[in-house]
């Protein structure tokens, strides 16, 4: 008999309702940090969230303005392309629908830009319709800096590399353009349910 502690590897799979976990994923109780570079430090009086590109006019919010917008609490599962999934993560943030409320655009794609230079591309329709939030609270406190605070994107229905940490702005475009990981061979869309990990999947 082995000394395997029940729960040590996270919630056992038999406790999961069928269809909860995308193919090839395992559940982790941890919250791994995956960053392609150092955690950027942004003085809060200089922090801005911007909307730019193919829009009627650019928008920007200061930290106080951004955190005064109507916010929502969401509890979602997140799925990393390196195969860990974390269940029932709790966040608070501003729906992208709210940010785009009176933005007029013909754009079909969005490039998320991070402080520090990371980018990732998504179709605009994957950010709208209650599917994505710019979050600033994680569990009971602020989003920790290593996990993307002060504010990060949360797009739970795509692999987590599609959720930019340290979000600085959304660039709306009529054409698609690969971001940091997409240039390096990751899939351009990244649907975990279809295992779209790498280009060609
Ligand atoms: N700005 C930025 N955002 C990023 C990354 C990054 O390196 N820089 N890594 C991505 C990847 S690959 C994943 S899996 C998640 C990891 O988020 P976490 O570190 O909070 O787990 O953030 C994504 N967003
Ligand atoms: Mo990732």
Q: Encode pLDDT of 139-175 as tens digits.
A: 999 999 999 999 999 999 999 999 999 999 999 999 9
Q: How far is the CA of 35 from the centre of ligand 1 (A)?
A: 5
Percent of the chain with pLDDT over 90: 91
Query: What one-character-per-residue DSSP string does the chain give?
Result: ---PPTTTTSS-GGGSPTT-S-TT-EE-SS-----SSPPP---TTT-EEEEEESSSS-EEEEHHHHHHS--EEEEEEEE-TTSEEEEEEEEEEEEHHHHTTT------EEEEEETTS-EEEEEGGGTSSS--EEEEEETTEEPPGGGTTT-EEE-TTS-GGGS-SSEEEEEEESS----HHHHTTB-SS--GGGT--BTT-
Please state, rounded to an integer, the average pLDDT across all residues of the chain: 94
User: For a substitution probing ligand 1, which of 136, 148, 153, 183 has the most ligand atoms within 8 Å of its CB?
Assistant: 148
Determine whether the shortest distance from the Cβ of 152 to ligand 1 is under 6 A. Answer: no
User: 5 falls in which pLDDT band (50, 70, 90)?
Assistant: very low
Residue 14 has pLDDT above 90, yes or no: no
pLDDT for the residue numbered 95: 98
Q: How far is the CA of 133 from the centre of ligand 1 (A)?
A: 15
User: 2 falls in which pLDDT band (50, 70, 90)?
Assistant: very low
The tens digit of pLDDT for each residue in 90-128 reads: 999 999 999 999 999 999 999 999 999 999 999 999 999
The tens digit of pLDDT for each residue in 64-74 reads: 999 999 999 99
Nearest ligand 1 atom to alpha carbon 114? 1
Q: How far is the CA of 99 from the centre of ligand 2 (A)?
A: 25
pLDDT for the residue numbered 15: 74
pLDDT for the residue numbered 1: 36
What integer is the mean pLDDT of 29-44?
94
pLDDT for the residue numbered 121: 98
State pTM to two decimals: 0.94
């Amino acid at each position: 008999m082995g000394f395997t502690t029940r729960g040590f590897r996270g919630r056992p799979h038999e406790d999961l309702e069928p269809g909860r976990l995308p193919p090839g994923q395992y559940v982790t109780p941890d919250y791994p940090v995956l960053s392609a570079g150092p955690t950027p430090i942004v003085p809060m009086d200089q922090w801005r969230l911007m909307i730019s590109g193919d829009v009627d006019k650019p928008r920007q919010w200061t930290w106080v303005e951004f955190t005064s917008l109507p916010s929502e609490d969401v509890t979602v599962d997140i799925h990393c392309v390196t195969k860990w999934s974390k269940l029932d993560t709790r966040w608070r943030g501003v729906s992208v629908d709210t940010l785009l409320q009176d933005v007029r655009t013909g754009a079909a794609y969005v490039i998320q830009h991070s402080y520090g230079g990371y980018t990732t591309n998504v179709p605009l329709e994957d950010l709208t319709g209650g599917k994505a939030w710019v979050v600033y609270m994680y569990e009971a406190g602020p989003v920790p800096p290593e996990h993307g605070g002060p504010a990060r994107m949360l797009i739970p229905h795509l692999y987590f590399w599609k959720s930019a940490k340290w979000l600085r702005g959304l660039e709306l475009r009529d054409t698609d353009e690969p971001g940091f990981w997409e240039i390096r061979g990751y899939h351009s869309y990244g649907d975990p349910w279809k295992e779209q990990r790498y280009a060609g999947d």
